[in-house]
Amino acid sequence: MSKKTRLLSALLCLLVLLGSMTLTASAISFTVGNNIGTGKVQTTENVGLTTDGKVTYAKATYTDSGSRTQAVYALEFNPKTSDYLPYVYSKYTGTGSSTYNTAIQAEDKYGAEVIGGVNATFYATATGSTYAGYWVHDGRLAQATAGMQNDIITFSSGGEVRIVNSKLDFKLYLNGREISSKGGSGIIHVNKKSVVDNVDDRFYYWDAECGTKTDSLIAGTEILCKKLDFGELSIGNTLKGEVLEVRADSYYSAVGKDEFVLYVKNGSPLQASVTNAKVGDIVEIAVNEMIEASKPYTETANTSLAAQYPIVKNGVADLTESLSQLGAEFLNARAQRTSIGLKEDGTVLFICTAGRNITDGATGLTVYELADLM
């Protein structure tokens, strides 16, 4: 029997409103007086979020060694031994939306049942997208950038969890003729937005993952296509579409259900490759995993998300890689933090900490403190 997908993308602060259920013996919980971080737990909430006790939520507040108020929120479940899977989704992939509104949209649009969740990825305000990596939900590639290589957490429909190194490449064809850029991919971004002065010469792909409008900001050629054969953009497969409309000098145009838009800006060298595109033409987009050993996992994943900044390895705090990527100033700053942990038995743990005096009066943790907490 296949797993039942449960969306884990509602605001963590709302979880306690869902009602108290029975807690399993192995569920995460906090106890007043126990050590946590550099202080002792002062207040707690330990809640079962499902009637079977398989998804649990816990909250603790404490005063750290610097007399600062801190708050920790935790969500735990095991996709291997339960009917619950992570579900990575954003209401508008290119521009973002509140986590709560994203959850409502996923319920309405995809029939997901919301249990709880967390803001799950770094977001670049300059590009309107994740810094690196990609995400997948329901097996569909929701957001990606060609050529980026980094670690990805994959979840199979059976709940198996893997961390693999992944690099995606896109092949774009119009009526069987490949459109490439300097020998490489003709497509650069999938459902990502670029600021006006940073729009790439290569093609952008948008579908309903970004909403009802494309995220293009300057005029270009937009080719609206209908998805054929019930296809979706997915790793290891080719999406086929039929051209419905070619829009010249267009941007921020409509895209509907079972449709996608290919956009290339005015003045791009690639614009000439679609000068003669017309209604009825066939567009094909192949998504290929370039790391051979990762194909069995990325091509079959129900859910995938970037594992971008490791802070714990094999149960020990190790920030060497993150220090090289983010720098000491970032790691030592106090702010809200989100992390995901994977236990040996397949249990998934989401940790969120409050910061900047926004919630529970908490000043926030450094990344080093977050690593020690994990």
Q: 167-180 pLDDT, tens per residue?
A: 999 999 999 999 99
Tell me how far apart the alpha carbons of residues 213 and 259 are, in angstroms, rounded to a whole number.
11
Find, among 217, 276, 221, 208, the residue nearest to 250 by Cα.
Answer: 221
What tokens does 130 get? 């994740």
Estimate to the nearest angstrom the gap between the alpha carbon of 149 and the chain centroid: 15
For the segment 231-272, what is each residue's pLDDT rounded down to a tens digit?
999 999 999 999 999 999 999 999 999 999 999 999 999 999
> Where exactly does CATH 2.60.120 map onto the chain?
165-294
Give me the phi and psi of 103, to 5 degrees please.
-65, -45
Cα–Cα distances in angstroms (integers) from residue 13 to residues 9, 75, 118, in the given order: 11, 11, 9
Amino acid at 42: Q
For the segment 82-139, what is each residue's pLDDT rounded down to a tens digit?
989 888 888 787 776 777 888 888 888 888 888 887 776 555 545 545 555 788 999 9
**CB of 241 within 8 A of CB of 225?**
yes
- Best-predicted range by mean pLDDT among 63-72, 124-133, 259-268, 355-364? 259-268
For residues 8-21, average pLDDT: 30
Give me the phi and psi of 124, to 5 degrees please.
-100, 115
- The label of the residue with tokens 């992570």 reads 86
Tell me how far apart the alpha carbons of residues 31 and 46 are, in angstroms, rounded to a whole number.
9
Give the CATH number of domain 165-294. Answer: 2.60.120
